[in-house]
Amino acid sequence: MGKACLKWTMLGSLALIFAGCATYPDPATTRQMAEKMVSEDFTAPAPALLKRLVQDKSQQICSKIGDAKLTQEEAAEVVKLARASIQYPASGKLVGNWKIGDNLAHDGAGDRIQGGRLEKRKENGGLCQNCHALAPGEINVGNVGPSLTGYGLQRGNSEAIAKLTYERIYNAWAYSPCSNMPRLGATRHLTPEQVTHMVAYLLDPASPINKR
């Protein structure tokens, strides 16, 4: 459509007849219009909740349109921001309780807004089941992300693996900039404590995820 319109423009005099011949707006104009919509077209029970719509630097970089690729510089910046975001639990212990982690992994609720109300939960669910295969034989699991079945069996449960796993859950973009995986710790969806339980769920040999 846009191209056809340009051809008309090239026909010179005709362009005068179709003065202001419609075409796609430039990216800056699009951005301005769309951001105005974002600021006007959503409601929340508290102004603080509306801030969820505001993008941080990394989210801006990661919102590539269509097939546009991340540049090396952009990827490096996202990784840098991600690394800086990672906080560790006060206890210093990165491996928590796998049973709690199991529950969290199968809990997809928490923090949703509906009918002018924020979903009331003591804590948010870990959302894992939505996108990842978990224990062997589980049916009701998604596949947007890679399978986590046997995660600990494949990697062992060394301190280095525990740290890597913790960091990947806390802020996946430290390793895979702009991947689909939410930065669960960095966005404050989960607490550092909750992340340690999920680390245990993934690594503990007794965890159902590591059952053969």
Partner 1 sequence: MNIARRTFLKLTGGAGALAAACAAGLVSSGRVLAANWNKAGFESKALADVMKSLGANGAIESKDIIITAPDIAENGAVVPVAITSKLPNTQQISIVAEKNPFPLAATFDVSGGGEGYVSARIKMGQTSDVWAVVKADGKYFTARKEVKVTVGGCG
Partner 2 sequence: MPTTRGGVAAILLACLAVWVAAPALAQSDDPLGVGRKMLAEDNPGELWIEQGKTLFYQKRGPKNASLEQCDFGMGPGKLEGAAARLPRYFPDTDKVQDLESRLLTCMVQLQGFDRADIVKRAISPGGSNGSDVEALALYITFRSNGMTVNVSLSHQKEYDTYKAGEYLFYRRSGQTDFACVQCHGEANKRIRLQDLIHMTDKKGVQEVVSTWPAYRGAHFVVRTMQWRLYDCFWQMRLPELKYASDASIALITYLHYQGNGAVITVPGFKR
Q: Which does 6 bind (CB under 5 to 8 A by kind): partner 2, partner 1, none?
A: none
121 binds partner 1 (CB under 8 A): no
85 binds partner 2 (CB under 8 A): no
The dihedral region occupied by 197, where left means phi > 0, alpha psi between -120 and 50, and beta the remainder, is: alpha
130 binds partner 1 (CB under 8 A): yes
- CB of residue 109 to partner 1, shortest distance in Å: 6
How far is Cα 128 from Cα 194, in angstroms, rounded to an integer? 12
How far is Cα 94 from Cα 22, in angstroms, rounded to an integer? 57
Residue from 74, 107, 111, 193 touching partner 1 (CB under 8 A): that is 107
DSSP 1: -
Name the one range near partner 2 by CB under 8 A: 33-41, 78-86, 89-97, 153-161: 33-41
Contacts 24+ apart (CB under 8 A), 133-141: 134/105, 134/106, 134/208, 134/209, 135/208, 135/209, 135/211, 136/208, 136/211, 136/212
Residue from 129, 149, 196, 210 touching partner 1 (CB under 8 A): that is 129
84 binds partner 2 (CB under 8 A): no
CA-nearest of 88, 27, 83, 16 to 60 is: 27
Q: Which is nearer to partner 2, 19 or 160 (CB)?
A: 19
Given a contact cutoff of 8 angstroms between Cβ atoms, the answer to whether 161 and 171 are in contact is: no
54 binds partner 2 (CB under 8 A): yes
Given a contact cutoff of 8 angstroms between Cβ atoms, the answer to whether 36 and 53 are in contact is: no
Structure tokens at 208: 């159902």
Q: Which does 38 bind (CB under 5 to 8 A by kind): partner 2, partner 1, none?
A: partner 2
24 binds partner 2 (CB under 8 A): yes
143 binds partner 1 (CB under 8 A): no
- Which residues are at the interface with partner 2 (CB under 8 A)? 1-2, 20, 22-25, 29-31, 33-34, 37-38, 40-44, 49-50, 52-55, 59, 62-66, 103, 106-109, 111-114, 116, 121, 125, 127, 129-131, 135-144, 180-183, 187-189, 208
